[in-house]
Amino acid sequence: MTDEKAIKIPVEATHIMMFARSIGDYSPEFHDAEQAQQTDAGGIVAPPTFLQSLAQFNPDYFLRPKPGEAWFGSGKEPSGVVGKATSSGGLHAEQHFEFERPVRPGDVLYATVKDGDSWVKESKRAGKLTFSERITEYRDENGELVCTARGVGVTTERPVDQG
């Protein structure tokens, strides 16, 4: 029933705990099953931005080093990629989540990603800005929609001026 290109995301309590810590959120809903039961959440739930960790489950995610492939972060040299590094790689411009229900440990979600609109703008601080939109749908094992995410990325002509 699932799209073969869909990315499978088994949602686990430990991952929710690590993610919550990483955003500085120590609420019981994210950390302790027994305490979470005493809250309105009735058990552990994921923080609203948790599904961004889709990156962990995407086999082709480009911002993760892979065996046998050059990685653009530093090692012996400031960048592991010979020649000019990706000096003005993509930045995140917008992110939106719309939930049909909360995400909980034990959920197995399937994410499908498609491209949305793209547009260009001029800016003083970083030159030409190219925006592109990506829509990600997260469905459960029954094919029910759980979340729709819309991200807007921007690539800049040069690094953003800090002046």
Task: Enumerate binding residues for other proteins (CB under 8 A).
Answer: 15, 18-19, 21-25, 27, 29-30, 39-42, 45-49, 52-58, 61, 63-65, 72-74, 78-79, 85-89, 91-99, 102, 150, 158-160, 162
Distance, in Å, from the CA atom of 129 to the CA atom of 58, rounded to the nearest integer, reads 27
Minimum CB distance to other proteins smaller for 2 or for 95: 95
Measured from the CB atom, the residue of 2 and 74 that comes closer to other proteins is 74
Instruction: Select 21 or 128, whichever has its Cβ closest to other proteins.
Output: 21
* Closer CB to other proteins, 45 or 110, in the complex: 45
From the CB of 22, what's the least distance to other proteins, in Å? 4
> What minimum distance in Å lies between the beta carbon of 78 and other proteins?
4
Assign residue 144 a region (left: φ > 0; alpha: ψ between -120 and 50; beta: otherwise): beta
Please state the closest distance from residue 29 (CB atom) to other proteins, in A. 5
Give me 69's structure tokens: 């492939």
> What is the spatial distance between Cα 117 and Cα 154, in angstroms, rounded to a whole number?
12
Strands 127-139 and 90-99, by their bridges, are unpaired
CB of 56 to other proteins, least distance (A): 4
Closest CA to 46 of 23, 13, 21, 22: 13
Could you give the CA distance from residue 41 to residue 21 in angstroms, rounded to a whole number?
A: 18
* Least distance from other proteins to the Cβ atom of residue 137, Å: 15
Instruction: Please state, as a whole number, how many other Cβ atoms lie within 10 Å of the Cβ of residue 20.
Output: 19
